[in-house]
Amino acid sequence: MQTTINPHHVLKKHFGYDHFRPLQEEIIAGVLQQKDTLVLMPTGGGKSVCFQIPALLLPHLTLVVSPLIALMKDQVDALKSNGIAADFLNSSMDEADQQILFEQLQQGEIKLLYVSPEKLLALLPYFSNHIQISLIAIDEAHCISAWGHDFRPEYTKLKQLKEMWPRVPIIALTATADKITRKDIIQQLALQEPATYIASFDRPNLSLQVRFGVKKKKKLEEIAAFIQARPNESGIIYCLSRKATEEMVSDLHKYGISADFYHAGMNATDRSKVQDDFLRDRTKVICATIAFGMGIDKSNVRFVIHNSLPKNMEGYYQEIGRAGRDGLPSDALLYYSLGDVMMLRSFIEESGQKELNLEKLNRMQQFAETPICRRKILLAYFGETLHHACHNCDVCKEPRELFDGTLLAQKALSAIARTNQQVGVNVLIDILRGSHRKEIIENNYDRIKTFGIGKDRSFSDWQQLLMQMLNIGLVEMAYDDHYTLKITSFGQDVLFKNHRVDLVKPEMRISISPKPKAGVLKHTEQQDQEELLFDYLRASRRVLAEKENVPAYVIFSDATLKDMVSKKPQNLAQLMEVNGMGEYKVKKYGNTLLKELKSWQKVQGVKQPKGNTYQETLALLQEGFSIEDIALTRQLHESTIYSHIAQLYQTKELNDISKYYNESDLVLVRKAREETGETKLLNPIYVHLQETVPHHIIRLCLSVIDREEKDGVE
């Protein structure tokens, strides 16, 4: 169905942005032309706008199938905060609330309805018989595929939607799906010749860093220092087990860090409370298993830390994608060890799709061990080529140095050979470094020729070097033989034929750097002031959020506050120029924000420029505000706004004001003006017309007559 309303107008009016992100406009155009669509767009890339704007332009209801109740509520709260009629329907609603919602749906009062797949399937007959549907959106569409990492069997029944509404377009959206998963989504949903859009998977605002083999105590110190350098910011720490999440929280509390844990072993009430506290910034850090995240729509997560190696790149990408959804600089920090690799491999050995999952783990290891730009490796996995170094990962910031590692490799290989290839990594390192611990002595490893041959290298150095030797194929790990190391044919060539091998110089173990400042390195006085103003506005936002019982980022994102700090708007028209400030939010919060900004500037001794009330009204008129809305937003009488319009017409800043008065009123005022001889005062004309034409209309008509005379028009 074609529509005459411009999507750009909707974007500005409801979302407060002047421009679409890449691909959004093309996707929206296709959906409005009733094309089935598959969208792959990274977390934080703007997937939701691709169906939310068509929903506002199309005549009937848009159904949004979403997997998690918490995610539905967050997205509905965000839509309502932008003045959009949206609601959700799920098993948590009681019968009375459900009935009220059904009545609103039948009366066409709701534009977007978020619904779980189970609830939608149960209510298909109701929707088919009572509700007109314009669009169906399937969010987190990878859940439909057995090849996706979040396979949800109930999603596979959604093929019924196309059978029931064959002419209604379906848009399926996901942040991560490889080729086989994409093909499966199309088949499972019975999409008809879908247009497929694959956005760039690059998230340049995310700084990527990997740390290998850091001992537990040192790792905790680094993580605590990292968080303490970001005192007001939210983050997620992913752990491999439930027990690890609880231990991490206990350890962080010792450093005075506000943290809580979240895992599938908790009851629903406790999980809900933890999630709600995090969303509302009461808890700054969540330590969680991968059970936490898909339902999180929090835009101001500033860091994601992996306490151990993720099992695949899809999971890693989606998890780090929960940071920096508002586009502001954020951090992704990954710790891992050989122990993580061994544990994950043991899990995979006992699982289905063993070969596929082992290959995915290998790719994850390669990413963690790469000596080249990490972002290049990450994007290449998703089929995208980055032609330049990203300069925002640890490898780019501190390039790895290659050296001739032949002799070191030969020392390690010789020690493996002399132990009959019956030792694992840690025992091998102890032999090389000359440890006299019990196991070494009992097995007579202290008597072999290579004992202590590598004592000039630290335990951490040897860990890194052996991991490289594993990755380049000098040795392999026998996972079915107590994780012992075996020499490969390539390793034999290095050991016996003196084949040269280049290794990456082991990195120095340094403490995690503090939070980098955007822009110049030197922290100027202006930056200090802007940081303080940002914190001041963030506190004001939290007060508004508590009043409305929604997360703070639903009111305004951090990116919107940062833009506000940069632009320092002095009036409502200037506030409209702030990214993320749509018409609804300017009406609702505009005066409160301006008062806060002026209060701040007064305390700081900043001289405030004198505003021009006429220009402010003009700017709001040009944004499409009605007289009533301008008066309400500016907290002025409507008659005052009409006087502004009259003045703006006189000064030719407005060229047509005919929509604000009737032609018959103009005739009456023109005649009354001639009969009374009054050209300026309104009341004599008002009395002469027996109070039938309001004062503000008389004012407009007089401005039209005056301008005609000045322009020489009879």
253-311 pLDDT tens trace? 999 999 999 988 889 889 889 988 998 889 999 999 876 665 567 889 999 999 999 99
Torsion sign over Cα 297, 299, 300, 302: positive
Nearest to 410 by CA among 370, 459, 449, 362: 449
Let me know: does 318 contact 293? Beta carbons within 8 Å.
Answer: yes
Q: What is the pLDDT of residue 607?
A: 65
Q: What is the pLDDT of residue 283?
A: 93
**What's the Cα-to-Cα distance from 8 to each of 17, 581, 645, rounded to whole Å?**
9, 14, 26
More confident site: 108 or 472: 108
Nearest to 61 by CA among 122, 154, 12, 126: 126
* Mean pLDDT in residue range 183-209: 92
CA 478 – CA 203 distance, rounded (Å): 37
More confident site: 523 or 268: 268
Please spell the DSSP secondary structure of 40-82, one letter per residue.
Answer: E--TTS-TTHHHHHHHHHSSSEEEEE-S-HHHHHHHHHHHHHT
CA 312 – CA 309 distance, rounded (Å): 9
Q: How confident is the model at residue 612 (pLDDT cuts 50, 70, 90)?
A: confident
For residue 526, pLDDT over 70 is answered with: no
Amino acid (one-letter) located at 273: K
* Mean pLDDT in residue range 55-72: 88
| Greatest distance between any 2 Cα atoms in the chain | 123
* β pairing state of 259-262 and 112-115: unpaired
Least confident of 15-24, 148-157, 199-208: 148-157
**What's the Cα-to-Cα distance from 369 to each of 213, 463, 464, 484, rounded to whole Å?**
12, 12, 9, 20
Bridge partners of 114? Answer: 64, 88
Q: What is the pLDDT of residue 147?
A: 61
For residue 513, pLDDT over 70 is answered with: no
Q: What is the pLDDT of residue 520?
A: 37
Nearest to 696 by CA among 656, 651, 657: 657
DSSP code for 608: P
Torsion sign over Cα 532, 538, 540, 546: negative
Amino acid (one-letter) located at 133: I
* Mean pLDDT in residue range 527-537: 84
For residue 146, pLDDT over 80 is answered with: no
CB atoms inside a 10 Å sphere around CB 580: 20
For residue 179, pLDDT over 80 is answered with: no
For residue 512, pLDDT over 60 is answered with: no
Phi, psi of 402 (to 5 degrees): -85, 150
For residue 106, pLDDT over 80 is answered with: yes
CA 260 – CA 250 distance, rounded (Å): 9
The strand ranges marked E within 241-351 are: 259-262, 285-288, 301-306, 330-336
pTM above the 0.95 mark? Answer: no
CA 160 – CA 105 distance, rounded (Å): 21
Q: What is the pLDDT of residue 271?
A: 86
End-to-end CA distance of the chain: 48
CA 158 – CA 450 distance, rounded (Å): 63
C-beta pairs of 370-374 under 8 Å, 24+ apart in sequence? 370/395, 371/395, 371/400, 371/402, 371/504, 372/400, 374/208, 374/210
Please spell the DSSP secondary structure of 105-134, one letter per residue.
Answer: HHTT--SEEEE-HHHHHHTHHHHHHH--EE
CA 7 – CA 591 distance, rounded (Å): 27
Q: How confident is the model at residue 427 (pLDDT cuts 50, 70, 90)?
A: very high
Q: What is the pLDDT of residue 462?
A: 92
**What's the Cα-to-Cα distance from 192 to each of 15, 30, 146, 315, 576, rounded to whole Å?**
31, 13, 21, 29, 41
For residue 448, pLDDT over 60 is answered with: yes
Q: What is the pLDDT of residue 598?
A: 84
Bridge partners of 238? Answer: 288, 306
**In the block, which residue shows the tokens 């549907």?**
133
Q: How many residues does the chain have?
A: 714
For residue 347, pLDDT over 60 is answered with: yes
**What is the average pLDDT value for the chain, to the nearest integer?**
87
Nearest to 688 by CA among 668, 708, 707, 702: 668
Write the CB contacts of 153 (distance below 8 Å, at least 6 apart in sequence): none
Q: How confident is the model at residue 225 (pLDDT cuts 50, 70, 90)?
A: very high
Q: What is the pLDDT of residue 515?
A: 52
Q: 652: exposed, middle or buried (C-beta count within 10 Å: 0-12, 13-18, 19+)?
A: exposed
Bridge partners of 286? Answer: 236, 260
CA 363 – CA 370 distance, rounded (Å): 10
Q: How confident is the model at residue 181 (pLDDT cuts 50, 70, 90)?
A: confident
Helix (H) or strand (E) holding 172: strand 170-174
For residue 625, pLDDT over 60 is answered with: yes
Q: What is the pLDDT of residue 497?
A: 92
Q: How confident is the model at residue 608 (pLDDT cuts 50, 70, 90)?
A: low
Structural domains in the chain, sorted by start: 7-198 (3.40.50.300), 206-397 (3.40.50.300), 402-504 (1.10.10.10), 525-609 (1.10.150.80), 637-710 (no CATH)
For residue 624, pLDDT over 60 is answered with: yes
CB atoms inside a 10 Å sphere around CB 711: 8
Helix (H) or strand (E) holding 522: none
Let me know: does 683 contact 630? Beta carbons within 8 Å.
Answer: no
CB atoms inside a 10 Å sphere around CB 678: 15
Least confident of 66-75, 200-209, 686-695: 66-75
Q: How many percent of the chain have pLDDT more than 90?
A: 41
Phi, psi of 285 (to 5 degrees): -130, 135
